Amino acid sequence: MIRVVTCASLLLFSTALGWSIISAREPRIPEARITYRPIQIQEGGYVSSDTCKACHPAQYEAWHDSFHRTMTQLPTTDTVRADFDGVRVTDVPGNPIDLELRQNEFWAEFGDPDWKSSEAGERPRIRRQIVMVTGSHYQQVYWYRTDRTRVVGQLPATYLITERRWIPRDSALLHPPVEKPGSETGRWNAICVNCHATDGKRRFDAPADVETAGASSMTADTQVGEFGIACEACHGPGAEHARQNRNPMRRYWQYLTGKADRSAIVQPAQLNPVLSSQVCGQCHGVWEFFDQEAERRANSIGLAYRPGDELRQTRVVVQPTKNQDSPTVRAILDAYPGYLNDSFWSDGMIRVSGREYNGLIDSPCFRNATDEKHTLTCFSCHTMHKTPDDPRPIAEWADTHQVAAGMAGNGACLQCHAAIGTNVPAHTKHQPASTGSSCYNCHMPYTTYGLLRALRSHQISSPTVAASIETGRPNACNSCHLDKTLAWTSDYLERWYATPKVRLSADEQTVAASLLWLLKGDAGQRAVAAWSMGWAPAQRVSGTGWMGVPLAMLLNDPYDAVRLIAHRSLRSLPGFDGFQSDFLAPSSERIGDTVRALDYWRRTLRPGDRRTDPALLLDAAGSPRMDAIIRLGLQRNDRPVVLRE
């Protein structure tokens, strides 16, 4: 027996030795020698998250399992969520993509996205290696080497992680169907590098405005301190901090005395409220350069902002309620007239995802705070590291947008509004455990759009019918009570909170608000209304027996994104889980999908779910009033909508 064990041990030892010899003969290519993609090079005091791990293992572990870290990654069998092993993607009309996994390398063959229809012949097919991955929560985008220095191109398809399917890159964004985005080559180098990496430096070969000049025509030596949003993105360069704390006695003394080390590192949560939230706002905000010279400097040496700085000293935070008439914003609007509409509702509230900082700074809890203790900040609700008192698994904490322990309910708001906490129903007029007694649902409703879904507004506000009439933005009441009219909401708000009523049209008095947004609204309104019909709390409150009709109508919407969201919500309805439709099919086929969905609704509707409410455009027999539906549909707001996520 001893001899057998010894032989096995020798075999394992020799195998390991052999592998180490092979590894020594074939060393990994140093990052600096890679020429075909952006590279990770630490300079300027940046030392990477690996340096933080030894002294901060718990914080490192939480960050490592967060979606911040995986915002940009190198492609491996662990990081790539899509199947590349001999797969053909046919969901990109006119441009099938052949995927290949070869010796742990990811390859794709597809029609060249940079080919212009004015060029002679058919679109040439190219074969490229995937060298970077963006996203890991809802979607993944894949970047390929162009062999034009470190400039990377974007695969013309996006992978939806939950549904495990590919869709055209264009369909993942909300924009007019006749205005397809141009080439995405160089986009990561020009734009994504700012916030999907740490210490990003574009380093284009031309000093001009890369968005105007076209990044696809340039070369670049793009470098980052680290892929993804790493420790130093929030804490600043860590070299000096690491140097000072090499002495274990210093570390133990700080630990025992409970003194925070602020001499060479930034602790965002310990900054004053303005500066602490700006650490998040550097990425989660709508901003622009002061002028072209500032952009030239950023193209060359990277963004000047470092955590702890005053953000507005190095960039313009676009805030329509404050600086719409400033020279910088006016210059932007002269060049891009639709700029504000692409990101904001008409009253200045942010309407696109990833820009929560803009919502925060326009909130009364931030704007009108009388002292630092009672000023709302990002850290009032969120934490960048899961704390020891949080019983949730790290994956759950990350999946809930890193909301801190105890802040997922009303706890976050009751920190300042403690008096309301003594009798929540007296304030909310809803039962304690109901959806309507959630502070979030009333004051941070789902009116922001991004990633093919609605997300919570981060501008604290109170629901009013006036705002819905003036801006078209769904209010909290009608986003949950989808079967009620604006007049119904107006009556209750006046009765409960003395909110002044406004003049309403005949349709606004008699037709459910959700149907008006869904049938008459612009593409952004339609997308949010369609998503709301798939939101479980709204389904419980409003019932689902009537939703099949309006969602069926959206299966032939002009916007790809709206059709996809409508299909998702439709399949969430009872009896519809087996319904199939193709949101990418030609319009003639999509009309057939609408007809089939209506028939499906008639056949699967349970007797107890049948509604006859006139406000839901149903007649006394529970059948849809198609004349009214068509009349409202003909009033649809078809202005071009581009939402800049």
Asked whether residue 299 falls in the same domain as residue 201, the answer is no
Q: Is the pLDDT of residue 20 over 50?
A: no
Q: Is the pLDDT of residue 5 over 50?
A: no
- Same structural domain, 433 and 456: no
Does one domain contain both 103 and 74?
A: yes
**Pair of tokens at residue 593:** 């999908």
DSSP letter string, 320-356: HHHHTTSHHHHHHHHH-TTTTTTTB-TTS-B-BTT-H
Q: Is residue 391 part of a domain?
A: no
Q: Domain for residue 161, yes or no?
A: yes
Please state, in angstroms and rounded to a whole number, the distance separating the CA atoms of residues 460 and 362. 8
Q: Is residue 514 part of a domain?
A: yes
Instruction: Please give the helix or strand (H or E) that residue 9 lies within, else none.
Output: helix 2-25
Query: How many domains, the chain?
Result: 4
**What pLDDT shows up at residue 207?**
53
Q: What is the pLDDT of residue 206?
A: 62
SS3 7: helix
Confidence tier at 17 by pLDDT (50, 70, 90)? very low
CB of 288 within 8 A of CB of 312? no
Q: Which residues does 8 contact at the CB level (< 8 Å), separation at least 6?
A: none
pLDDT at residue number 261:
72
Per-residue pLDDT for 11 more than 60? no
The 3-state DSSP composition of the chain as helix, strand, coil percent (nearest 5) reads 40, 10, 45
pLDDT at position 210 is 58
- Domain limits at 180? 50-227
- The answer to whether the beta carbons of residues 108 and 121 sit under 8 Å apart is no
Please indicate, yes or no, whether residues 450 and 368 belong to a single structural domain of this protein: no
Q: For residue 115, what pLDDT is reported?
A: 87
Round the CA-based radius of gyration of the chain to a whole number and report it.
27
Whether residue 162 sits in one domain with residue 88: yes
Q: Is residue 41 part of a domain?
A: no
Is it the case that residue 581 has pLDDT exceeding 90? Answer: yes
Integer Cα distance of 512 and 65 in angstroms = 43
Given a cut of 80, whether residue 304 has pLDDT beyond it is yes
Distance CA 269, CA 381 (A): 11
pLDDT in tens, 555-569: 999 999 999 999 999
> Residues 371, 330: contact at Cβ < 8 Å?
no
pLDDT of residue 320: 97
Which residues are paired to 142 by β-bridges?
Answer: 133
pLDDT for the residue 2: 42
Percent of the chain whose predicted confidence (pLDDT) is above 70: 93
pLDDT single digits (tens) 214-234? 566 789 999 999 999 999 999
Reference 46, options 307, 434, 250; nearest CA is: 307
Per-residue confidence (pLDDT) for residue 260, from 0 to 100? 67
155-166 per-position pLDDT tens digit: 999 999 999 999
Long-range contacts of 502-505, Cβ-Cβ distance < 8 Å, separation of 24 or more? 502/465, 502/466, 502/469, 504/465, 504/469
Task: Return d(Cα 609, Cα 444) in angstroms, integer.
Answer: 30
DSSP class of residue 187 equals: H
**Residue 97 — φ and ψ, nearest 5°?**
-120, 125
In this structure, the answer to whether residues 563 and 624 fall within a common structural domain is yes
The pair phi, psi for residue 451, each rounded to 5°, is 55, 40
- Is 202 a domain residue? yes
Claim to verify: residue 429 and residue 455 sit in the same structural domain: no
Range of lowest pLDDT (125-134, 205-214, 344-353, 382-391): 205-214
Question: Within this chain, do residues 289 and 329 fall inside the same structural domain, yes or no?
Answer: yes
- pLDDT at position 110 is 96
As a whole number of angstroms, the distance between CA 173 and CA 160 comes to 12
Q: Are residues 218 and 288 in the same domain?
A: no
Residue 153: which of 187, 194, 127, 182 has the closest Cα? 187
In a domain, 205, yes or no: yes
Top pLDDT among 26 and 486 is at: 486
Same domain, 213 and 84: yes
Mean pLDDT of 362-384: 93
For residue 11, tell me if it sits in a domain: no
Q: What per-residue confidence (pLDDT) applies to 75?
A: 98
Question: What is the pLDDT confidence band of residue 6, given thresholds at 50, 70 and 90?
Answer: very low
pTM of this structure: 0.92
For residues 92 and 212, state if they share a domain.
Answer: yes
Q: Would the pLDDT of 548 be above 70? A: yes
In angstroms, the CA 453 to CA 532 distance is 9
Q: Are 47 and 239 in contact (CB under 8 A)?
A: yes
Q: If pLDDT is split at 50, 70 and 90, which confidence band does 76 have?
A: very high
Q: Is residue 301 part of a domain?
A: yes
Asked if residue 420 and residue 448 are part of one domain, the reply reads: no
Question: CA-to-CA distance for 307 and 234, rounded, in angstroms?
Answer: 6
